[in-house]
Each structure stands twice: as C-alpha cells, then as structure tokens.
Amino acid sequence: MELILFDLGGVLIELEGLPFKAQWLPIPGELLNDFWISSCTVKSYESGRCTSEEFAQEIISELKLDTTVSEFIEHFNFWPKSWFPGASEFLMKLRIKYTTACLSNSNELHWERALKEWKIDQFFHYSFASHLIGSVKPESAPFIHVIEKTGIPPEKIVFFDDNIKNVESAEKLGIKSYHVKNFEETRILLEKLVLI
C-alpha cells in the first residue's frame, strides 16, 4: 500500500453525542442518523453550497427544532470533540512509513477547527474536505479527487470509514476499504493488515 486514507469523524475524531441537543428534537434520536445521511440540506452544506447560517435555518425548519440559529451553530460546531485518545500519536508514527491522507465530509465550521485546533496538516500528507471538493461521500467524485491529487492508483490505497456506504463506494473504484466504528478498531485492523 502506498496511501492510507482515513475518514475523520467517528474514525480518528471522537463525536460528542448528537449534532443537536436531544431536547431540541421532536423525533427520537435514533432516527437522526438516517435523516443526516439522506438530508439534501446536509449534503448541500457539506458540498460547500450554503453558509452555516443557511444550513442551521434549514435544519431547524426541517426538524422543527426548538432552538435558534445561533444556539444551533454553537452546539453543532463542537459536535466533533477531539482526537480519539492515542490517534494523533499513532498518525505521527504511521506517516513516517506511509503516505497518509484524510477524506472527510466536512464543512466550514468543523474544518476550521480541524486546521487550527487539531492541526491535522501536521498528521497527514494530504487533507481533503468535501465542502472544498464540492461533493460528498458516498459519491465517487471525492475518491476520484483523491486519486487525481495524490497520483496514487486506487489499488494502492487502503481506506477506513465508519459509514458502510462510503466504504462500498470506494470499493467500486478499486480502493481496498474497511468499515470501522472507532479509532481502536482502526488501529487493530491496521495491525492485522501488517501495515504497522
């Protein structure tokens, strides 16, 4: 393998509960994941086609959330908590031997934190964000973008993501892909693949 490609949220970066406060939701929290994956508003935001304020207003309207735009944005901004324990140290060792990259469905709020707070550019040779690419996983375009920008063919890329649809999409392009639920699963799997 020449390139190890990671999703961020849920794989290397720990997420803090729900993207919104549970008490704002008129629907059960377990339904939220399906909504998030299928929402045209989320896709538009993570493709860079609307502002944070427009995104917040649309989500509040769609879910009938009992909150304001400013409250929503404040909470949503800190939905990603930080690195999973040990993840950043692990990446620093990994990038010595391999080319590493992240490919995240992200947005202007979370990406600013990724660059300034988590300093992801120190841990990856390449950092790719959906809102800057203009398309989101599981569309094929983000993966094609990675292949073109790195110059590394798909058969020499291994990819880890916590969303099975993203994994399946990458596999269709010839990328060896794995579905993981957290950093610990990712670390163990890399050891089994004899990549570390």
CATH code of the domain in which 100 resides:
3.40.50.1000
Q: What is the pLDDT of residue 161?
A: 98
Out of 77, 109, 124, pick the residue that ends a domain: 77
Beta-carbon neighbour count of residue 39 at 10 Å? 17
Q: Based on C-alpha coordinates, what's the Rg of the chain?
A: 17
* 104 & 92 share domain: yes
H/E run at residue 54: helix 52-63
| Boundary (domain end) residue, out of 77, 94, 117 | 77
pTM for this prediction: 0.94
Structural domain harbouring 158: 3-14+81-192
Share of the chain above pLDDT 70, in %: 96
Query: Is residue 30 very low, low, confident or very high in pLDDT (cuts 50, 70, 90)?
Result: low
- Of 30, 52, 77, which residue constitutes the final position of a domain? 77
Question: What confidence score (pLDDT) does residue 26 get?
Answer: 77
Q: What pLDDT, on the 0 to 100 scale, is given for residue 29?
A: 58
Tell me what pLDDT residue 59 has.
95
With a CB cutoff of 8 Å and minimum separation 6, the contacts of 65 are 20, 24, 25, 26, 59, 72
* Alpha carbons within 13 A on the beta-carbon side of 42: 16
* Axis-axis angle for helices 108-116, 69-77 (nearest 10): 40
Read off the pLDDT of residues 53-64 as tens digits, 9 standing for 90 and up.
999 999 999 989
Average pLDDT over residues 115-119: 97
Same domain (yes/no): 54, 112 = no
Predicted confidence (pLDDT) per residue in 137-182, tens digit:
999 999 999 999 999 999 999 999 999 999 999 999 999 999 999 9
**How far is it, in rounded angstroms, from Cα 117 to Cα 26?**
33
CB contact set of 112 (below 8 Å; sequence gap of 6+)? none
pLDDT at 37: 82
**Length of the chain, in residues:** 196
Whether 34 and 57 share a structural domain = yes
pLDDT tens, position by position, 64-102? 999 999 999 999 999 999 999 999 999 999 999 999 999
Based on the fold, state whether residues 49 and 125 are members of the same structural domain: no
Instruction: Give me the number of domains the chain comprises.
Output: 2
Helix (H) or strand (E) holding 101: strand 99-104
C-alpha 170/C-alpha 5 separation (Å) is 11
Query: Tens digit of pLDDT for each residue in 17-28?
Result: 889 888 888 766
